[in-house]
Structure 1
Amino acid sequence: MCDTLVLRSDGATWFAKNSDREPAEPQRLIRLPAVHGDRAATVRTTYLEIPQTAERHAVILSQPAWLWGAEMGVNERGVAIGNEAVFTRLTLREGEALLGMDLLRLALERASTAREALAVITELLERHGQGGPAGYRNKRMRYDNSYLIADPQEAWVLETAGRLWAAKKVERWAISNALTLGHDYDLASANLEDHACRLGCWNGRGDFHFARAFDGRVLPWIAGARQRRQLNQEFLAHCPAKVDWLALVVALRSHGHRGHRLSRHDNRQVCLHAGSFWRPSQTTASLIARLDGGSPRMAATGTSAPCLSMFQPLGFEPGAGAGLLSPEEAPVEESLWWRFETVHQRALADPGFADALRAGHGWLETELLAALDRRTLDWPRLAAEAQAWHDAWHQLAQQEALRPPRWWRLNAAR
């Protein structure tokens, strides 16, 4: 489960995403340099080996540690992409292909604009297909994908079903775990309607509607996909013309009308916390990007649960986001994500600790985010301040050994 939104405002494009995965599934932030003149003929993705390209952009990726691709990311040219699981009538139930997360990374490495990224994804999708086990522990989890793709000039929503797809240029849009495109789209697979008829997804009568033809029914309802999307749509509808970092942070931390009592949550929250059998996912990473023609600026948690975490500045400059990023080959146990799990799990077990944690990052987070609007940043100082905050809460979390609630532990062990 995930939630992604994009909006164009005041000459810039804002992108934000919560990545929802299994409890205790490590997700790290990595920065990969640009590559020029690579002679490798192929690249090994999570399951497939496909032709490689000699020229690739530098990228920052938020990546579940066990796979090759990424849940979300930004490249040095200012292209940002986030993907969502969608459970369509054409989802591949057997075999292996490109994961949606692999397609996301390939597009960021190869594309200089949002429109180019859309072309990279759709060309690879039609050639290689999508599919394969996409869960950390749950290898029965398989899905197709939708994407929000943005650059400083424009944004696109791209939705897929098997090897078929449709795309629409948008100004303000949100996606969750259900298809959103209907009659109105700007680009699509060749002969899309004929394929839909041949595959038994449309009877050929009336106006063709992409989501009605291909979307599943049960899993989007269980996941609360439309209700979570509605929360972000309401944010976008009421968002002022001039957006700032804190507005996007608040959107990603939304619990809707359920507040911070996790026992009352029901999959209808943007900031998701794992619960019963019907609520097996939680937010394991969050990312915000502002794309305005200069070097991309980002804010990320690098940790689980945005309502409990602190957003920190991130960028492509040397030394930027040093406390957030992990070397690609480093053990995940050395990542900020892994270290923060002690704090996160203590907060799940101790409501008083969780309330103090939520209240304890406001002043510093405001200062860190304000720095993103300056022309030059003192990256070492920003990293040191964030590190001191994390160290203090890690020490507090270790003072009392408390286990997370049983329902969380069951999901984490499933």
Structure 2
Amino acid sequence: MEADAVPDVCRKHASSRQAVPRFFWRDEPMGSDMVVALGRATVDGHTLFGHNSGRIGNKTPCLCLSPGRQHEPGEKLRTQYVEIPQARQVFAVLGSRQSGLWGYDHGVNENQVAAGCVALPAALRCQQPGLTGPDLVRLILERSHSARQAVDLLTGLVERHGQGAFPVCPEESDHDSAFLIADGVEAYAVETAGKHWVYQEIHEVRAVSEARVVHQDWDRISCGLAGHAIAQGWWPEDGSKLDFAAALARNAAAESGNLRRWGRATLLLEEQNGHIDSMFLRRVLSDHYEDGSDALAFFGVAAGRESLCRHERGPARSATASSFVAELTAGTGRPGIAWCALAAPCLGAYFPILLDGDLPEALAQEDLRSLGASLSGRVLHLAEQLDQHPDRLGHAREHFARLQARFDQETEEFLSEAAALKQRAAQTELRRHTSLFMQHNVERFDEVLSEMLKQRTWVAVES
């Protein structure tokens, strides 16, 4: 398909889009948020990256572990909408993919570069289909040695192929994207608008939500964006530095909830600056403004508050689909590790995932039709049962907290063994041990989850 062709999937949405809101998050934000803490802000000097990825409806994402490989010159690559040249070498990537998409919401590669994306209201529109936010996340992870290289790749791809909204695109693609990119020493926040972009280098901590927050504090800007904003009357021609967020703002009222989530995440990070560890970052991503009872915090958020961990509630259909924390330790001799939670992170546990082993099948299942078919679907089922019996929430959290403590302790012990195997270049043994370690953790989680579901069924029968 030519780059300027309109895919069939877009044409079939063209007529129906006249009756729906222009941007799907105006009434129903996806509820995706990202956070990063560089070494100077953390307890152990390692960079920590986190992302809550949102969903709408019953679709749940699956984990993917794609191997690194070499490609022949001239090979092409099919992304969501367009075909682009394939890189000669791609790196191994652990990513989270929504059903029906080619790209990843977030992920980390073998070089310990992490990246994720969230949706922004569409400010500029491309003339033909381009790359999606998840496309760009996957592409930069497959091709980058460092965060700095990833930023350069991302901005170059956006300028060359475009991104985001285009004429008669599906409603779920009708947006721009913001990105957070990090490695063991650097991190960057990128905001886009059509083929344009700005980015900030991050020095300690940063949160990114579904709202533009880069004003005049950008470090670099795409060529021609300032001139375009002036020509459109969005910014005065007085020689002042372009305020990106102000010039491209389209519906401030609709973004208010997203800005509150961004403010909440920023406050939590700043309050703990210098003392952040992976457990704290997991608590941030599980946040429900927990200054009251567990039940109130979990099942309802007070007016004017937007929790970072989201659940389907009443007419609302958006919810946290998965949560992800990456510990980026390149250059330390310690293997990198990602922590992945299924569905809402406040109910369940974060699995330790390493790129050196085979991903357990239960974590890679794509849950397209039946929510009961995968672990994530069963976690959602438990959340629904707890909605009917909120008095049992504390009991469920206690069980999963004990499991998480075991995961944390045994992972520390395993990482020491894995580092020794890496140093000896015992790759076959490392892969076998890592695969068994991850599978064992999945089985433990399944046991606890099954027991909790049985208890919920027993309570329902007894009542």
TM-score class, shorter-chain normalisation, is 0.7 to 0.9
TM-score computed with the length of structure 1 as normaliser? 0.86
Corresponding residue number in structure 2 for 1:299: 339
Q: Which residue of 2 aligns with 1:237?
A: 270
Q: Go from structure 1 to structure 2 and tell me whether the alpha carbon gap of 1:364 and 1:225 turns closer, same or farther (over 3 Å shift).
A: same
Q: Distance in 2 between matches of 1:402 and 1:91?
A: 53
For the aligned residue pairs, the C-alpha RMSD in angstroms reads: 2.9
Q: Is the 8 A contact 1:166 1:187 kept in 2?
A: yes
Between 330-339 and 117-126, report the one with greater CA deviation. Answer: 330-339
Match of residue 282, structure 1, among 319, 323, 328 = 319
Tell me how far apart the structure 2 counterparts of residues 372 and 203 of structure 1 sit (CA, whole Å): 55
Q: Deviations over 1:255-290 (max 9, x none)?
A: 12575242335661100112344x431101000011
Q: Secondary structure in 2 aligned to 1:376?
A: helix
How much has 1:393 moved relative to structure 2? 2.1
Give the structure with the higher percent helix: 2
Cα deviation for residue 353 of structure 1 reads 4.0
Which whole-Å CA distance do the structure 2 matches of 1:393 and 1:292 have between them? 31
For 2:83, the equivalent position in structure 1 comes to 49
Contact 2:113 2:141 (C-alpha < 8 Å) held by counterparts: yes
**1:141: how far off?**
5.6
* 3-state SS of paired residue (1:264): coil
Give unmatched runs, 5+ long, in structure 1: 404-414
Query: CA separation in 1, counterparts of 2:458 and 2:78?
Result: 42
Cα separation, partners in 2 of 1:55 and 1:331, compared to 1, 3 Å: farther
Contact kept, 8 Å, 1:346 with 1:353, in 2: the verdict is no
Classify the secondary structure of the residue corresponding to 2:325. strand
Do residues 249 (structure 1) and 282 (structure 2) align? yes
C-alpha distance in structure 2 between counterparts of 1:351 and 1:254, whole Å: 18
* 1:68 aligned counterpart, secondary structure: coil
Amino acid paired to 1:275: R
Contact 1:346/1:402, CA 8 A, preserved across alignment: no
Give secondary structure in 2 for the equivalent of 1:268: coil
Question: Which position in structure 2 is the counterpart of 1:102?
Answer: 135
Give the Cα–Cα distance (whole angstroms) in 2 for the partners of residues 141 and 37 of structure 1. 29
Distance 2:382 2:128 in 1: 38
When Rg is computed on C-alpha atoms for both structures, the one with the higher figure is: 2
TM-score normalised to structure 2 length: 0.77
The answer to whether structure 1 residue 143 and structure 2 residue 175 are counterparts is yes
Distance (whole Å) between structure 1 residues aligned to residue 102 and residue 288 of structure 2:
31
Which stretch has the larger CA shift, 173-182 or 235-244? Answer: 235-244
CA-to-aligned-CA distance 1:385-410 (integer Å, 9 cap, x gap): 4423323423542663999xxxxxxx
What pairs up with 1:2-401 in 2 under 5 angstroms?
2-9=32-39, 10-38=44-72, 41-91=75-125, 96-132=129-165, 139=171, 142-171=174-203, 172-205=205-238, 206-218=240-252, 220-221=254-255, 224-256=257-289, 257=291, 259-264=296-301, 268-277=306-315, 279-293=316-330, 294-301=334-341, 303-319=342-358, 322=360, 325-326=363-364, 335-373=374-412, 374-376=415-417, 379=434, 380-381=436-437, 383-394=439-450, 396-397=452-453, 400=457
Q: Contact between 2:96 and 2:106, CA under 8 Å: does it hold in 1?
A: yes
TM-superposed deviation, 1:195: 2.0
- After TM superposition, the structure 1 stretch with the greater mean CA deviation from structure 2, 389-398 or 306-315, is 389-398
Over 3 Å counting, the alpha-carbon distance change for 1:292 and 1:396 in structure 2 is closer
Q: Give me the whole-angstrom Cα distance separating, in 2, the residues matched to 1:331 and 1:23.
A: 11
Instruction: Give the whole-Å Cα distance in 1 for the aligned partners of 2:128 and 2:317.
Output: 24
Code of the aligned partner of 2:404: E
Cα distance change, pair 148–329 in 1 and its aligned pair in 2 (3 A): same
1:217 Cα shift?
2.3
State the Cα distance separating 1:107 from its structure 2 match: 0.7
SS at match of 2:255: helix
TM-aligned CA deviation for residue 244 of structure 1: 2.1
Q: 1:280/1:203 Cα in 2 relative to 1: closer, same or farther (>3 Å)?
A: farther
| 1:409 alignment counterpart | none
Which consecutive residues of structure 2, in runs of 5 or more, have no partner in the other structure? 1-30, 419-432
